[in-house]
């Protein structure tokens, strides 16, 4: 008994009917029960607080056959706390082969159980936000559907996708992006009703289960509250970050009778919300399915368009309005789909961004444009080539290396290449952007700010970037002859550009009146359909070879 008294594990001796006769000191220390409390009690009934009868039956069947019984039990201490133990019971048999006693040992397995529960929790919850994952969400959704069917109630799914989060995430370090998602999930959690479930399905995807609601009006109120909850800027590491989201809504039973259908249709509605300008919510309708099918078809086709050589570059001339000469062209991507024909960028550029294909396609555009520019210069057509860069492309760490390789391979003079970036691209992480631009500028490449006036438009930041050209956004040109605000904005941009010795190009010039206004205010570089539509390289070459330069000839020959 001395050895048993000193062991750290619980040791219990019972008679042949499993009535406790002896407990060691560890029993009293761990459970809080004294020896007097335990003596005479049935071992299993005294220890187990879960499945007692089932455990008794199992132990009896094993032990009476002379075998060793092992199992895990959950028991309650005298003070009410729970402890987990692995029980091992050994029958003692005399020389007449009769069982006289049982010896039971209980080993604490709290850490093992805790580890198992922790692992299970990690498997079923998002590591970053601790929100439920897909498995738990689907299980709760199925349960909600079953309950709603029985009680003739409604269940709704809200599928939330952050707008342009991939662009934001590319510009942030991983830790900052993680902090943003954590703050966002907390705001969502504080907005939904008690009893509803919010889960994280992907980096920028959240799904909410609204169990048992009474009307579409309730859904609209909750959806708008979710959008409002993220309207104020997020503060992460001294940075203020603005973000919006698009929400798609599906309702049981009208939009689906099972979890998969409801999720799919909420996802479809979410994409409709993005198509309608983002930062809004949309309810699923049957008419959405055809649009989504078309979108999926285009997305699948896009994945093979580059390798199948279905992309083509068109070039829009840029004119000097003083003499009608063409000083440059802007390379514009077109997609010649084998079945749908020529597809304009508005229909597929967002899909390229969404799928990440914009990066390899962007490299193809850059290389193709540089090859064409070199060919034109070799034949005496000396004008500048402008190429748009996407945010993902510009922020890729390997972009500078790729550009150097393209310049080397095509033998283009870097001074003949102008890369166009938007204002918002420049202003995100301005210090790192300045360094990147300076590194590119060292190669001899020129830079233009595209869509100028729609973003920050600060004279102070213009001085910080090695910019050569600003392009006035077409939205200011459209009503420049009738809208006094647009007149004032364009005049200010032109004056600011001249004061900084920058070139200024007006985009989207469609009428003679617009052209005359711009010329009168000192903007002579013009791009737009009034002077020249985008054309293929061959069409432009034919134009140059057949017509005498001059603004009247240019207008007649290109339109």
- Is residue 31 one of the residues assigned to a domain? yes
* Three-state SS annotation for 324-390: CEEEEEEEEEEEEECCCEEECHHHHHHHHHHHCCHHHHHHHHHHHHHHHHHHHHHCCCCCEEEEECC
- Is residue 471 one of the residues assigned to a domain? yes
- Is residue 42 one of the residues assigned to a domain? yes
Question: Do 380 and 492 sit in the same domain of this protein?
Answer: yes
Q: pLDDT tens track of the chain, all 559 residues?
A: 555 666 778 888 888 888 888 888 888 888 888 888 888 888 777 776 555 566 777 777 777 777 788 888 777 788 877 777 888 888 888 887 888 888 888 887 765 555 565 556 555 667 788 788 888 898 899 989 988 887 778 899 999 999 877 767 666 666 777 888 889 989 998 888 888 899 988 878 999 998 877 677 788 889 999 999 998 888 887 778 888 999 999 999 888 889 999 999 999 899 888 888 899 998 887 666 566 666 667 777 888 899 899 999 999 999 999 988 899 999 999 999 888 888 888 888 888 887 888 999 999 999 999 999 999 999 888 889 999 998 888 878 788 899 999 999 999 999 999 999 887 777 665 666 777 888 888 889 999 988 776 655 555 667 778 889 999 988 899 999 999 988 998 998 899 888 888 999 999 999 999 999 999 999 999 999 999 899 999 998 887 766 544 433 343 333 3
| 409, 367 contact by CB (below 8 A) | yes
- Is residue 210 one of the residues assigned to a domain? yes
Domain tally, the chain: 3
CA dist 405 and 410 (Å) reads: 9
CA dist 330 and 369 (Å) reads: 9
pTM for the model = 0.55
Question: Do 157 and 136 sit in the same domain of this protein?
Answer: yes
CA dist 10 and 139 (Å) reads: 40
CA dist 550 and 371 (Å) reads: 27
Question: Do 306 and 161 sit in the same domain of this protein?
Answer: no
Give tens-digit pLDDT for 156-215.
999 999 987 776 766 666 677 788 888 998 999 888 888 889 998 887 899 999 887 767
Domain boundary among 83, 115, 147: 115
Q: What is the CATH number of the domain that holds 180?
A: 3.30.70.270
Question: Do 339 and 471 sit in the same domain of this protein?
Answer: yes
Give tens-digit pLDDT for 239-249.
788 889 999 99
Domain boundary among 66, 81, 115: 115
Question: Do 29 and 139 sit in the same domain of this protein?
Answer: no
- Is residue 518 one of the residues assigned to a domain? yes
| 92, 68 contact by CB (below 8 A) | no
CA dist 258 and 145 (Å) reads: 7
Question: Do 398 and 528 sit in the same domain of this protein?
Answer: yes
Question: Do 329 and 220 sit in the same domain of this protein?
Answer: no
Sheet with 245-252: list strands edge to edge. Answer: 197-202, 205-213, 154-162, 245-252, 281-283
Give the other-Cβ count within 10 Å of 83's Cβ: 18
Q: What is the CATH number of the domain that holds 66?
A: 3.30.450.20
Query: Containing domain of residue 16, as a range?
Result: 2-115
Question: Do 431 and 514 sit in the same domain of this protein?
Answer: yes
Intra-chain end-to-end CA distance of the chain, in Å = 107
- Is residue 526 one of the residues assigned to a domain? yes
Structure tokens at 552: 């009247």
- Is residue 292 one of the residues assigned to a domain? no
Q: What is the CATH number of the domain that holds 318?
A: 3.20.20.450
Domain boundary among 80, 115, 150: 115
Which residue has tokens 């009410």?
80
The reported pLDDT for the residue numbered 556 is: 34
Question: Do 343 and 441 sit in the same domain of this protein?
Answer: yes
The reported pLDDT for the residue numbered 427 is: 66
The reported pLDDT for the residue numbered 111 is: 59
The reported pLDDT for the residue numbered 4 is: 61
The reported pLDDT for the residue numbered 410 is: 94
Question: Do 111 and 185 sit in the same domain of this protein?
Answer: no
For residue 497, cis peptide bond before it (omega within 30 degrees of 0): no
CA dist 24 and 249 (Å) reads: 62
- Is residue 290 one of the residues assigned to a domain? no
Nearest to 509 by CA among 459, 554, 463: 554
Give tens-digit pLDDT for 75-105.
778 887 777 788 888 888 888 788 888 888 8
Question: Do 272 and 133 sit in the same domain of this protein?
Answer: yes
The reported pLDDT for the residue numbered 543 is: 75
| 216, 283 contact by CB (below 8 A) | yes
Question: Do 45 and 190 sit in the same domain of this protein?
Answer: no
């Amino acid at each position: 008994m001395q050895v048993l008294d000193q062991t750290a594990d619980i040791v219990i001796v019972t008679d042949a009917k499993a009535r406790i006769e002896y407990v060691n000191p560890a029993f009293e220390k761990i459970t809080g029960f004294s020896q007097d409390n335990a003596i005479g009690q049935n071992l299993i009934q005294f220890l187990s607080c879960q499945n007692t009868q089932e455990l008794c039956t199992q132990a009896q069947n094993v032990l009476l056959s002379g075998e060793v019984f092992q199992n895990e039990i959950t028991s309650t201490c005298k003070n009410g706390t729970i402890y987990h133990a692995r029980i091992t019971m050994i029958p003692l048999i005399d020389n007449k082969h009769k069982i006289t006693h049982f010896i039971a040992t209980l080993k604490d397995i709290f850490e093992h159980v805790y580890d198992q529960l922790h692992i299970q929790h990690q498997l079923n919850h998002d590591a970053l936000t601790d929100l439920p994952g897909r498995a738990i969400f689907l299980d709760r959704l199925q349960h909600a559907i079953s309950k709603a069917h029985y009680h003739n109630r409604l269940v709704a799914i809200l599928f939330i996708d952050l707008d342009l989060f991939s662009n934001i995430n590319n510009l942030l370090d991983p830790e900052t992006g993680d902090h943003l998602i954590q703050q966002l999930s907390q705001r969502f959690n504080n907005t939904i009703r008690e009893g509803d479930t919010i889960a994280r399905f992907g980096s920028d995807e959240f799904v909410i289960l609204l169990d048992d609601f009474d009307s579409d009006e309730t859904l609209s109120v909750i959806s708008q509250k979710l959008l409002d909850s993220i309207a104020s800027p997020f503060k992460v590491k001294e940075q203020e970050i603005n973000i919006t989201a698009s929400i798609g809504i599906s309702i049981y039973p009208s939009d689906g009778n099972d979890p998969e259908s409801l999720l799919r249709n909420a996802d479809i509605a979410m994409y409709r919300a993005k198509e309608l300008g983002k930062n809004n919510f949309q309810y699923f309708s049957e008419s959405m399915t055809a649009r989504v099918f078309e979108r999926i078809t285009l997305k699948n086709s896009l994945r093979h368009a580059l390798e199948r050589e279905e992309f083509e570059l068109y070039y829009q001339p840029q004119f000097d309005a003083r003499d009608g000469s063409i000083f440059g062209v802007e390379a514009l991507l077109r997609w010649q789909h084998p079945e749908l024909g020529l597809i304009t960028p508005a229909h597929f550029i967002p899909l390229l961004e969404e799928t990440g294909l914009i990066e390899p396609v962007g490299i193809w555009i850059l290389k193709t444009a540089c090859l064409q520019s070199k060919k034109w210069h070799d034949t005496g057509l000396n004008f500048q080539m402008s190429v748009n860069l996407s945010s993902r492309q510009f922020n890729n760490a390997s972009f500078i290396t790729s550009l150097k390789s393209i310049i080397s391979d095509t033998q283009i003079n870097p001074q003949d290449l102008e890369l166009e970036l938007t204002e918002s691209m420049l202003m995100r992480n301005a210090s790192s952007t300045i360094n990147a631009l300076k590194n590119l500028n060292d190669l001899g490449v020129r830079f233009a700010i595209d869509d100028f006036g729609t973003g920050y438009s600060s004279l102070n930041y213009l001085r910080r970037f090695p910019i050569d050209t600003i392009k006035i956004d077409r939205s200011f040109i459209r009503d420049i002859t009738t809208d006094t605000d647009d007149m004032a904005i364009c005049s200010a941009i032109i004056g600011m550009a001249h004061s900084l010795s920058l070139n200024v190009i007006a985009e989207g010039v469609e009428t003679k009146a617009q052209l005359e206004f711009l010329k009168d205010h000192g903007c002579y570089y013009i791009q737009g359909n009034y002077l020249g539509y985008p054309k293929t390289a061959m069409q432009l070459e034919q134009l140059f070879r057949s017509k005498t330069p001059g603004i009247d000839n240019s207008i007649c020959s290109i339109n």
